[in-house]
Structures are given as C-alpha cells and as structure tokens.
Structure 1
C-alpha cells in the first residue's frame, strides 16, 4: 500500500548502533571520552551505552573477540570522527588508548587509528 501524502506512514529511526570488542565497558569509556559524551547505562560487566542526548552507541563484550586484521580484512563497519584540530585530537585519542597503524591510506584527507579493541576508525577535519 502506498502513502500518497508524501510522508512515511511508519518511518524507521536508528535507535542506536552496537559494537563488540574484548571489553565492552572499556570500549564505551574510550568512545565516551573521545566524543565528549557520557556513559549513560551499564549492563552488568558485559556492556555499556554512551550518548550525547540524541545519538546512542552500545558496546558489548564478546567472548573470543578478534579485531579485524586491517588492512588485509575488509571492514564491515567503522566510525569516521571529525575535529576542528585533527593533530590535537590524534594526540588526545592516543593518550586515551588508541594506536596509529603504519598503513595510512587517507593521505592528508584522514588518519586511521585503532581503538583499544584494535578496530579501525578514522579522524579528519570538519568539512563545511
């Protein structure tokens, strides 16, 4: 059945995105600090949620988690974060537990970092 008014009758919205790692709570704390958000809920020792009040991410502990062997393995999903000062952000993220792999395919456009679980994410400058 079509909706002739132009508005979606039952429009979906993303409730949250979920990530798995070797320590879900530690990963939540890393991304909360990286984004300037807060850990808003914890679920025992296995998971935690972070939010800025509108967007939510939940991080789960996965037994037997193995980080992708990037760049050999293709990635299913990753985050791209942007900052006013990319160099300062890189230094801060590394101080929070990120690492910088040798392989950097972004040139001057973006930098790849690995979160504490070894999963790649990218940082770049805000673009207007």
Structure 2
C-alpha cells in the first residue's frame, strides 16, 4: 500500500505568475493565484487534471544542464505530436535550446524562461 499520493510538482522561480503563464501556454490549463500574507503560490491545473505549482525563491539560481559539477535538479518530459512545430512554439514563448542537435532522436531538451530543463518528446 502506498504511503502517499503525489499532489503537485513545485518549481522555484523568480516570478511565479510569469512562469505559470509560460507553462499554461505550453500545456494549456488554468492558472490560479493564492496569497497568504506576503507569500504567493501559483497553481497551473492542466486539462487532464495534473498540476504544476510555482513559488517565489529569493536568490533563485537556475539549474545547469548538462553539468558534471551541478545537478539539473529535475526535468519535465512533455509529449507532443510534432517536434518541429512544438519546438518553434516553445522558442517563441521564451524557451531556449539546450540540446536539439540530433534531429533523428525522438526528444529534444530545452530550458524554460528561468532555466528549468524540459524535454519535448514525440508522442
């Protein structure tokens, strides 16, 4: 029997609303902002019900990819129908290419606008 159920993946970032907006454009869904005093928490609920959350992290330092000296911390795998079209769309939204040189692979690696790595994977 499981001890817990995964609720949400939380990404640290300098501007939670802005990063949630980026992922809302990529994944679809609804952004909801919650305030608790000075603290702000932003949830993105995607159409299938899964959630990503975003929290402000003062002094945020983006992960390095690839780096033998520093961990990438984690990455998201996002399934797409058309790699080339999805690549153009995420680049237009502010993503950057980390590793997309081998066009024969079924996946490519990018960074979101604040440096979190994610992969576009052919579905």
Question: TM-score per shorter chain, which class?
Answer: 0.7 to 0.9
Q: Distance in 2 between matches of 1:36 and 1:82?
A: 13
Q: Distance in 1 between matches of 2:43 and 2:93?
A: 18
Which piece of structure 1 moves more, 46-55 or 115-124?
46-55
Q: In structure 2, which of residues 34, 46, 64 is the aligned counterpart of residue 52 of structure 1?
A: 46
Q: Distance in 1 between matches of 2:101 and 2:83?
A: 16
Shift of 1:16: 1.1
Which piece of structure 1 moves more, 109-118 or 66-75?
66-75
Moved over 6 A (4+): none
TM-score, normalised by the number of residues in structure 1: 0.80
TM-score, normalised by the number of residues in structure 2: 0.83
Residue 42 (structure 1) aligns with: 33
**Larger of the two Rg values belongs to structure:** 1
Shift of 1:113: 0.7
**Per-residue CA distance 1:19-64 (angstroms, 9 max, x = gap):** 111211111111111001221x202473310012521111111100
Residue-pair matches, total = 116
CA contact (8 A) 1:16 1:58 kept: yes
Question: Which stretches in structure 2 are left out of the alignment for 5+ residues?
Answer: none
Question: Which stretches in structure 1 are left out of the alignment for 5+ residues?
Answer: 1-7
CA contact (8 A) 1:25 1:61 kept: no
Residue 15 (structure 1) aligns with: 7
Shift of 1:11: 5.4
